[in-house]
Amino acid sequence: MPELPEVEVLVRHLAPLVRDKIIRSVMIQRERVIAPTPHDEFLARLRGARFMAVNRRGKYLQFRLRSGRREFTLLGHLGMTGRMYLLPADAALPKHTAVMLSLGREQFVFEDTRYFGRLTLDTSAVELLGPEPLGREFTAERFAAGLRHSAQPVKVKLLDQTLVAGIGNIYASEALFRARISPRKPSRRLTLNQIGRLRLAIRAALKEAIHCGSTLALNFSGSGGRDGLFYFGSNPNVIGKYEERFRVYYREGRPCLNCGTPIKRIVQAGRGTFWCPHCQRN
């Protein structure tokens, strides 16, 4: 589920559902997702706390909670396969439930097949993040400064969350295609013109994905239901297949939407990159 657009849509979806709800009890089924917070501390802080707001930073979800007069943040990350949603209190929990927060008539479920995600009181990871790509801080100057000294291929550099926060493997390929820039280009070799184009392409790709996700009939509620944000999910009620939503990602061998040239897949830093060798020559 998780790159910036999916997290943004999830945050907007969850915020009104959890607001003012009080955590009655906590069940931790997989210790690693709350790390490095100690088990006992996690229980003690969360029990009795009230949800005040939900925000996003990069790919992180920030749950603002209040206990008495004290406010604090519970930080969430979906890893590769994490999902968060509410279920009726009496519903069975899915197989890979990592943490469950009982809210009375409902329960907040953090499910994560691979357990790469997090739900923790340690908020330090957020401080290392670069600017929000859709915010004012993401200026062309700052972006250029971040790219200037790196010899890494620009595709790989876009995954660096200190350069700009929230881009993942899919939108890195998508943004470079829109900007017509080769994913193999060393970051420091990008021209100012290309940097400007890439910055706008990133914003456009993310915004469009958020818009797409916002208009889908979402089904976040576990059991059998895959929601439309799941890249490889198959909910027949939802139009969004990756073929329709992505211009290059997962389209190896299929014709480029601009020029018809077959889309190529290469491996960079151990991960697949999809691109058009004709449209993205420089």
Partner DNA sequence: CACCATGTTCCTTG
Partner DNA sequence: CCAAGGAACATGGT
> Phi and psi of 64, rounded to 5°?
-85, 125
Placement of tokens 């490889």 in the chain: 232
Distance from C-alpha of 67 to C-alpha of 53, rounded to nearest angstrom: 13
Q: In the bound complex, what is the minimum distance in angstroms from residue 124's beta carbon to DNA?
A: 8
Contact segment (CB under 7 A) with DNA among 72-80, 84-92, 137-145, 208-216 equals 72-80
Alpha-carbon distances of 181 from 60, 126, 142, 173, 175, rounded to whole Å: 28, 29, 19, 10, 9
Q: How far is C-alpha 206 from the chain's CA centre?
A: 11
Binding mask 26-55 for DNA (x = CB under 7 A): ------x-----------------------
Laid out side by side, the sheet with 106-112 consists of: 25-28, 97-102, 106-112, 82-88
- Residues of span 111-170 touching DNA by CB under 7 A: 113-116, 125, 128, 149-152, 156, 159, 161, 168-170
| Count of C-beta atoms within a 10 Å radius of residue 46 | 24
Distance from C-alpha of 272 to C-alpha of 86, rounded to nearest angstrom: 33
Binding footprint of DNA, residue count (CB under 7 A):
38
Binding mask 89-108 for DNA (x = CB under 7 A): ------xx------------
- Which of 137, 121, 141 lies closest to 129, judged by CA? 137
Q: Which residues pair with 22 in a beta bridge?
A: 50
Interaction of residue 77 with DNA, rule CB under 7 A:
yes
Query: Could you tell me if 64 and 51 are in contact, meaning their C-beta atoms sit under 8 angstroms apart?
Result: yes
3 tagged catalytic: yes
Interaction of residue 81 with DNA, rule CB under 7 A:
yes
Q: In the bound complex, what is the minimum distance in angstroms from residue 152's beta carbon to DNA?
A: 4
Q: In the bound complex, what is the minimum distance in angstroms from residue 20's beta carbon to DNA?
A: 29
Query: Could you tell me if 282 and 183 are in contact, meaning their C-beta atoms sit under 8 angstroms apart?
Result: no
Interaction of residue 1 with DNA, rule CB under 7 A:
yes
157 tagged catalytic: no
Give the active site residue among 21, 45, 56, 59. Answer: 59
Choose between 60 and 103: whose C-beta lies nearer to DNA.
60
Choose between 41 and 122: whose C-beta lies nearer to DNA.
122
- Residues of span 233-252 touching DNA by CB under 7 A: 233
Query: Could you tell me if 91 and 103 are in contact, meaning their C-beta atoms sit under 8 angstroms apart?
Result: no
Question: Hey, what are 135's tokens?
Answer: 């915010």
Q: In the bound complex, what is the minimum distance in angstroms from residue 202's beta carbon to DNA?
A: 13
Binding site for DNA (CB under 7 A): 1-3, 6, 32, 58-59, 77, 79-81, 95-96, 113-116, 125, 128, 149-152, 156, 159, 161, 168-170, 230-233, 267, 269-272
Residues marked as catalytic? 2-3, 59, 271
